[in-house]
Structure 1
Amino acid sequence: MPEHADVLTAVPQVAGGSGLRNQYAYENDRIGCLTAWSKRYGDVFGYGPATVVVNHPDLIHQVLARTNREFSATVPMVEHQQTAAENLDAWMRGRRQGGRGIHPDLIAQCDDRLDRALATAVTALPARGMDLAAACERICGRAIIDVCLGGEAPAFYERTARASDDILAVSRTLDTPPWGAKRRYRRAVAAERDLTARLGGVLERLRARPGDPPRTSLVDALLAHPDRLPDQVITAVLRVTLIGGHGTPGTALAWCVREMSQRPELLARLSDEARAAPAPAAAADLPYTTAFVKEMLRFYPPTWLLARDVAEPVALCGRRLEPGQRVLFSPYLLHHDERWWDTPAEIRPERWLGEEKPFAPHAYFPFGAGPRVCVGSLLGLTVLVRAVALLAKGFELDVDGPADAAPRPDILLAPPRSRVRYVALTSRNAGRE
C-alpha cells in the first residue's frame, strides 16, 4: 500500500453521531466496535476528530518503524522529572543497551534459576486457590524478578507487583486523561520513585562487590557491560523489565492455563513433551510447547491495543494526519484477520511447526515492533514456555470459571474471571495411596 499520495484526503469518520456517542459505543464493546468499523470503513478511519484507527499490517509497520520521528510513543506519565527529549534519549539508550544485555546466552545461563523460581512461585500459591490472572501474575512476576536481580529478588516482589499495577494503569490508559485517575497517578509516581531508589541501592551494593562475580542475572550482565553503562541506564532497563514482567506475561500465562484446563488432549501432549525433555530443557527441546505459547499470544495478545501520537504532519496511505491526533492499532484484530492468517478463528499450535511463517508479513506482533519493541520479549517468551512445561508435567490444573465467556479488553486483554488451584501431581498421588 502506498505511503504517500499526490493528493491527501481527510480520514473517513465513523457515522452515527458525535464523537462522544461513538466513544460511548466503543467503551461498551471495544473489540466489537473496532471489528465492525474496520469492515465498514476500511483500514484507516476515525471514530472522533482526535482518534484514527489503522488496521493493515503494512501501515501499522510504517507507524511503528517511524516512531520517534513522525510518530511518538506516549512517554509514561510517571517519567516526569526531565524534559520529553531527555526522557526519550535515556529511554532509547536503555532499550538499546539493555536489549543487548537480555540475550539468549544469558537467559540460558539462568535456566536452572528460572525453573526453581517458577516452581517456588507455583507451590507458594494458596492451597485453597485464587484468581486465575492474579495467580499467573505472581508466577511470572516472581520468576522474572529473580532472573533480573538474582539474590536481591526476594525483597522486591510485593512492592514491585503493586507498582506494576499502578504504573501500567496510568501509562497504558488510552482514553482517560490524567485528571481522571488522580489517586492512581499519585500512587504510580510514588511507586516509580520508590522502585528507582531501591534499584539504585542494589547497584551501589553490587558495584562494591570484590572480584569478578558470576553473570547469572540480568543486573550482573549489565554491570559487566564493556561500555560500563551508567547507573541511570541500568536502572531504566531493570525498571521497565520488572514492571512489564508482571501483568503482561501473567495475563498470557492465564490464557494458556485456561486453554490447557479445557483441552485434555492438548495438556497431555504438552505434558509428554515436557517429561521427555532434559532438565533444564532448551528451547529446541520444547517445540510444541513453544508453538502453543506463540499461538496463544496470537489468539489472545495481552497487549491487544497500541497507540502512537502524531508528532508532525504526516501522510499515511494518502490520508492526512496532524499533530494532536492519536493512531490506534490492535494486534488482536490483525491476529484474527482472514486476510493475513489461515483459519484465524481456530487455536492451532501446529501452524507454528512448519518451516514457513504462518502469517503475512508484519501481521504478528504480540510484543510490538519497531524502535519501541519490547526489550524483554525473549525473556517473556522463555518464562511462558518454561512455565507451561512445568505446569503441564507437574501439576493438576483446577480452573473454576465460565468456559465460553468473552475476553475482557481493558488495559490488557484479560481472561474471564476464574479461580485456579495448582495441585502438585506428587501430592495428588500420595493422597491416593
Structure 2
Amino acid sequence: MSTTVTEERRRKAKKATAVAAFGTFIEYYDFSVYGYVAATLSIVFFPSDDPTVGLLNTFLVFGSAFVVRPLGALFFGRLGDKVGRRASLIASIGLMSLAAALTGMLPGYATLGVAAPILLVILRMLQGFSTGGEIGGAASYIREWAPAERRSLYISFIPGVGVFGKACAAGMAALAASFVPEHAMETWGWRLPFLLAVPLGLLCLYLRLKIEDTPEFRRANREEATARKPFKELAADHPGPLAKVMAISTVQNVGTYVGTVFVATYLSTVLHFSASQAATIVLLAVVTASVFIPLCGQLGARLGGKRLLIVSYVAYVAVTIPSFWLMGRGSVGLAIAGLILGMVPYALCQAGTYAVMPEFFPVQVRHTGVAFGHSIGAVIGGGAGPYLSTWLIDSTGSTLVPAYILVFFGLFGLGIALGAMRSSSDPEHLYA
C-alpha cells in the first residue's frame, strides 16, 4: 500500500473517530442529565410527603430506560449489521435528541396529573432504546476504521467523550442550581439542560450524514457476507463471547451509574452538600476522568485488554472505600479528592471494557454482539445500581453502601478476568 493511501486511510480513521465519538458525547449528555437533576424531577413529577419515596420513584423511571436497552440493541444492531454502521449511528442520535428535547418541554404533575410521570417514563424509555444501539455502533465503527496498533487508543475516546458528556450534564446542572432560584428550578430551570439537546443533536446529525461506512463492512457487503439474521447467528455461533461481554459490561455499568451518576444525588441527599456543591464536585471529578480514559487507552495498547481490566478491578477493590470515606468527611475539598480517587479504577475499566468488546465478534455480528452484550450489562449494572444504593442506604443507614457495591463488583470482575475470560476462543491480543 502506498504512503498516500495509508495517509488517506489514517485521515479518514481520525475523522470517523471524531464524528462517532461526538455523537456518543451527545448521547451520554442527553442520557445523564436526568440523573443529575433527579432530585428536582422527583418534586416536579412525583410529589410526596416522603422525599425518599419521590426519589425512589424518580430512579425507577431512570431504571426504565435500561429495560428497553436490549430491544434498542437488537433493532440498531440489526440495522448496523445489515444496512451499515453509518445508518445505525444516524438513527440513534436522531431518536436520542428528540426524546431529550421532548422531556425538556414536558409539563409536570401539577399540570398533567398522573399523565406527566407516564409520559416521562415513555420518553425515558425512548432514550434507553436509542442508547442501546449507540455503543455497539460507535465501537464497531471506530474499531473497523482504526489502525490495528491504535485501536485501543481510538476506541477509548468513546468512553472518554461519553464521560465528558456526563461532565457537561453535571456542569449544566451546576449552573442551573447556582444561578436559577430554587422555585424557578422546579418550574423551568430543570428544563434547560434537556433543551440543549436540540442544537447539539442537529449538529451531530449533520456530521454523521457526511461520513462513510467502514471499509470492513463495505467489503463484507460487497461479498454478500453480512448476516441475514444477526441475533440468531450471534446466539447460535458466539454464546461464550456474548456471555463474557455481558459480564464485563455489568461491572463497567455499575462503576458508571453508581460512581458517576448516582453519586451526584448521594452527595446532596445523603452527605448533605448543597445541590450546587454536589454538581461541582461531580463535574471536577468527571472532567478528570475524561482525561484519564484516553491515557488508559494508550496503556491498554501496551498491556492488552485483559491485563488492563484486571488492573481496573484490583483498583476498584483497593481504593473505593477510601474514596467514599473521604467524600463523607464533610469537606468540599476532601469530597473532590475522594471522588477523583474513585475515577482511577473507573477510567481504567472504561478504557479496557470498550477496547475489548468489539474484538470478541466477527464483522457480520459485531454491532449486534457489542450492543446487545453491553445493554444486558447496563440493565443489570446500571439500571439497578442507583435504586439499590438508595434503598440500601435508607434501610441500613450506612453511607458507605455505594462503596461496598463497587467493591463487590470489582471482585466479580476480577474473577471473570482471571477465570472465565481465559479460553482458546478469545482473541489473542486480549492477553498480549
TM-score by length of 2: 0.31
Higher helix share: 2
TM-score by length of 1: 0.31
